[in-house]
Structure 1
Amino acid sequence: MDINLPKGVRYILKELSTNGHEGYVVGGCIRDVLIGITPKDYDVTTSATPEEVMALFKKTVPTGLKHGTVEVHTHDGAFDVTTYRMDGEYEAHRYPKNVIFVDDLVEDLRRRDITINAIAFNPEKGIIDPFNGTEDIHRKIVRAVGNPILRFKEDALRILRAVRLSTTLNFNIEENTLKAMVETMDGLRFISEERIREELNNILLSKNPARGIRMLFDLGIMKYVLPELMTMSGFLQHNPHHDKDVLGHTLEVLSHVPADLPVRLAALFHDSGKPSTFTMDEKGIGHFYGHEKRSRDIAHEVLMRLKYDHKTIRKVETLVFFHMTSTDMKNEVKLKKFVNKLGAENLNALIDLKIADFIGKPEGSDEKLFEINSFRNRIEHIVNRGDPLTVRDLAVNGKDILALGIREGQEVGRILDVLLEKVLKNPDDNHKEQLLEYASKEINR
């Protein structure tokens, strides 16, 4: 069979062959092509040493010489070219102490994690598949290369990769591979937060994130990924508005929010504080007063530990904290104050979360969905009208207040808040002269 490769990749393979070296496209890109997915990138493996690769091509960058990787620049883009290698002994379930360059493609494929990632292709020699990865693609199976226990002991992150592949491709994990994942998952304790975060992101952004998250719980792996969420599993809510345990409801919500990372993270964490805030009244009905605050705190703790960027953390915290906001709010001043706290840029994300949260409940009512969308429309009308909503929107600033003779920064902030309160009620008052007059009266009060 022939595979339509980018011109730059074909050029690299041709140059390697012309100069007496083997070269193959390898790994996830070939897997994706065989499945029918457009690859995001292409990797080349070769019998040539890194030094030979750098001597052969005009523009190269030694991005990973220790592991045999050279980035080759072509008119069609840049591509990683890596020398055939065997991995030495692994340290701390994470990385090999050293690599050994070899001249055998099969040995290079043998060190890889999953059979569907251990397939190579060359336009002249076709598919090279010593571990039956193409058959596993047809069977929709995720199976480890060789001894699965050894594969996962070498690098425990492969356990999460297996879950991610199973989730994103909608494949099942082969039985022995599954057993080995459970047997070796303690090795995840040694994996860095950043590597865990990236695999978690890939699971969350898949077409069926609930499947991957459920798998992590069912296999017991979640205690190494997000131990703070473990109490959600099996926690019954004893509430007429919920027919599932906290985890079941969470997965339902996760299934109905768009594939936006902060929104999916917010869906995952939005009820995480329920187990620790649970109370039951005299009628046997469960309540979770303040769970949105506790859930926000859990989200903050976890996302900081996994080293997410501050912008993502702030957005997730905001969405989680406000997900219980009543949507029957109609008073414009209250709506403006709410937008001031939420941030207008977070409105649609919050509405997405609230709709999914409602869909995840048993009552199901078009009337409630209409209420949520009407809430969005009321806020959008205020925002589009251009009403001042924050201190930044005022016609005066801190310097203007200081010019009135105020010297304490805290007092400046208080006066600006007073002015905002007036402008929220009367937008037409947002003129510099008028606001300075209000400010002077406040100072002299």
Structure 2
Amino acid sequence: MQISCTDRELFIFKKIGAAAAQAGYPAYVVGGFVRDKLLRRPTKDIDVVCLGDAIHLANEVAGRFGSHKPPVSFFKNFGTAQLKLPDYEVEFVGARKESYQNNSRKPDVERGTMEDDQQRRDFTINALSVSLNADDYGELIDPFNGLRDLSLKIIKTPLEPGITFSDDPLRMMRAIRFATQLNFSIDEKTFQAIMQHKERIKIVSQERITDELNKIMLSKKPSIGWDLLFKSGLLEIIFPAFAAMAGVERKNNIGHKDNFYHTLQVLDNISRETRDLWLRWAALLHDIGKPAVKTFDENAGWTFHGHEIVGAKMVSKIFSKLKLPLNEKMKYVQKLVSLHMRPITLTKENITDSAVRRLLFEAGEDVDDLMTLCRADITSKNRLKVEQYLQNFEFVAKRMQEVEAADQLRNWQPPVSGELIMTTFGIGSCRNVGIIKDAVREAILDGEISNDYEAAYQLMLKKGEALGLKAVNHQNQN
């Protein structure tokens, strides 16, 4: 075996080879597994191409595990099968060749040779294969110099790139995703073809595009992918609101920073601290509202007042368009976008307990993530400025810990509930209930009363009396 495999992998390959020999189907390990093994990257997905019935071969292989026979999933429409082992997933497919119509990325498929199958692969580094057959077991088959491109760290199509991308436009996204994940360069001719055929991306489903975006987001340095998307012209098509952040406008010889590249720096900064996909999305979207509010003031220069509020409102539309989940993940991103300026503001003023309480109350359990985002947002090239900003944030963080320890406002729930207010005053759900609840909350956040039941209950009675309500059912203990 010319690639370095574990004993477990060799055990699996021997079973596949034996089953293939019995069925009379030559079989090969192809694609990502071979690539990642050569790059010494961890991988648990094994793709096997056979010159015959892939579903039959998968069944034969499963049977060779005896009483430990693994489950096999069949996809008859595609002629593929998947074997689920405890530590690997092995997918079987018959060798095929493909042809495409101009208005679709779904190919017309027919049986083909191993050469046909390798020609349909997206990139040379994914067209490598290893034989599992007795006469040439372990031989590495490299028809398009994929080994050379691996050593040169180049993403390149096996055939004419214009044909590759026109046939399956998602491959343009995959080229950029692989360049990001592997820290490879895209071959110049290949990249030119992406720019030329970028409009073809419109026929690809949003779900497939977003899947590639999320893989870029989870890369070690996601800015690589977003920069390539921008330079290729794809970003303008798939995410115009983000592309709109690029560039520097000057007036009266005063410019502002390029908010697109600032955002990419923030994204890379936070990616060094966390692999949380949604915290990374919050970093990407934290300044998304700036183009909408950008104004020039003769005295102050360029301003972006309120961009965090506008940006937070944009999040739901962006998530909807990109087919990202419209659930708590979206609300989490919205919250961080809307609050990301608040800790910065606290560093610029005489910080009060009340201001800290309000931030803790609004951030809730996400306050630590918010502070991580704010630290990542420091992108000045002036080292002294960065150090000063970080010192300011540490001061704010310390004050937040002190106030939190005293007031316990993280995941705060009001000491008196709407139900208690209605029971106490013998009223139904109405505007007065909300007025009383708001008054109690504001008094606690302003430090006028302590964050406990008795103080809140007494204020509730006082506020109810001011509204003309009479307590009919006293509850003086929690």
TM-score, with structure 2 as normaliser: 0.84
- Look up the SS of the partner of 1:94 in the other structure: coil
What's the counterpart of residue 396 of structure 2?
Answer: 375
Structure 2 residue identity aligned to 1:24: Y
Change (3 A) 1:238 1:9: farther
Displacement, 1:84? 1.6
The C-alpha deviation readout for 1:26-85, integer Å capped at 9, x for no partner, is 211211111121124222222241441354224443343222221123454442222222
1:356 paired with 2:376, answer yes
In the TM superposition, residue 178 of structure 1 has moved relative to its aligned partner by: 1.2
* 2:334 pairs with one of 313, 317, 324: 317
Match of 2:205 among 173, 192, 195: 192
1:327 to 340, 343, 346: 346
Deviation at 1:379, TM superposition (A): 1.8
2:91 is aligned with 1:80: yes
Alpha-carbon distance in structure 2 between the residues aligned to 1:255 and 1:237 = 27
1:262 and 1:174 map into 2 onto residues whose CA distance is 31
Distance across 1 between alignment mates of 2:40 and 2:433: 61
Question: 1:340 is matched with which residue?
Answer: 361
**Letter aligned with residue 39 of structure 2:** I
Deviation, structure 1 residue 390: 5.7
Q: 1:12–1:415: structure 2 CA closer, same or farther, 3 Å change rule?
A: farther
Residue in 1 that maps onto 2:429: 408
Q: 1:352 to 1:52 in 2, by over 3 A?
A: same
- Structure 2 stretches lacking a partner, 5+ long: 64-69, 467-478
Could you say which residue in structure 1 is the equivalent of 2:32?
28
User: CA, structure 1 residues 315+239, in 2 after alignment: closer, same or farther (shift >3 Å)?
Assistant: farther
1:313 deviates by: 1.6
Partner of residue 267, structure 1 = 283
Whole-Å Cα distance in 2 between the matches of residues 36 and 283 of structure 1? Answer: 57
**Within 5 Å, which residues of 2 pair with 1:34-433?**
34-56=38-60, 57-58=62-63, 59-74=70-85, 76-90=87-101, 92-96=103-107, 98-102=108-112, 104-122=113-131, 124-236=137-249, 244-258=257-271, 259-283=275-299, 285-309=301-325, 310-325=327-342, 326-328=345-347, 330-343=351-364, 345-360=365-380, 362=382, 364-385=385-406, 387-388=408-409, 392=413, 394-404=414-424, 405-424=426-445, 425=447, 428=450, 430-431=452-453
Per-residue CA deviation, residues 215-255 of structure 1 (Å, 9 max, x unaligned), is 11122111122111222221337799986322222222222
Tell me how far apart the structure 2 counterparts of residues 410 and 113 of structure 1 sit (CA, whole Å). Answer: 62
Distance 1:15 1:338, change over 3 A: same
Which range moves more in the overlay, 74-83 or 219-228? 74-83
- What CA distance in whole angstroms lies between the structure 2 residues aligned with 1:119 and 1:179? 24
Q: 1:218 to 1:381 in 2, by over 3 A?
A: same
Provide Cα deviations, 1:345-402, integer angstroms capped at 9, x if missing partner. Answer: 222222222222222465724222111122122223333456245662x344333223
CA distance in 1, matches of 2:239, 2:31: 29
Question: What TM-score do the two structures reach when normalised by structure 1?
Answer: 0.90
Residue 292 (structure 1) shift: 1.6
Q: Between Structure 1 and Structure 2, whose CA radius of gyration is higher?
A: 2
Judge conservation of contact 2:122–2:171 (CA < 8 Å) in 1.
Answer: yes
Tell which deviates more after alignment, 201-210 or 179-188.
Answer: 201-210
Between the aligned partners of 1:409 and 1:12, the Cα distance in structure 2 is: 71
Q: Which amino acid aligns with 1:321?
A: S
Query: What is the alpha-carbon distance in structure 2 between the residues aligned to residue 117 and residue 175 of structure 1?
Result: 18
Aligned to 1:439: 460
Deviations 1:187-224 (A, max 9, x none): 11111111111111122222222222111112211112
Instruction: Between 304-313 and 15-24, report the one with greater CA deviation.
Output: 15-24
What do residues 142-164 of structure 1 show as CA deviations (whole Å, max 9, x unaligned)?
00121211111111111011111
Report the residue type matching 2:443 in the other structure: K
8 Å Cα contact 2:289/2:314 also seen in 1: yes
1:71 and 1:80 in contact (8 A); partners too:
yes
SS of the aligned residue for 1:42 comes to: strand
In the superposition, relative to structure 1, how do residues 361 and 297 fare at CA in structure 2: closer, same or farther (>3 Å)? farther
- Unaligned 5+ segments in structure 1 are none
Q: Give the secondary structure class of the aligned counterpart of 1:289.
A: coil
- What CA distance in whole angstroms lies between the structure 2 residues aligned with 1:193 and 1:381? 46
**Corresponding letter in the other structure for 1:122:** S
Aligned residue pairs total 440
Percent identity of paired positions between Structure 1 and Structure 2: 29
3-state SS in 1 of match to 2:385: coil
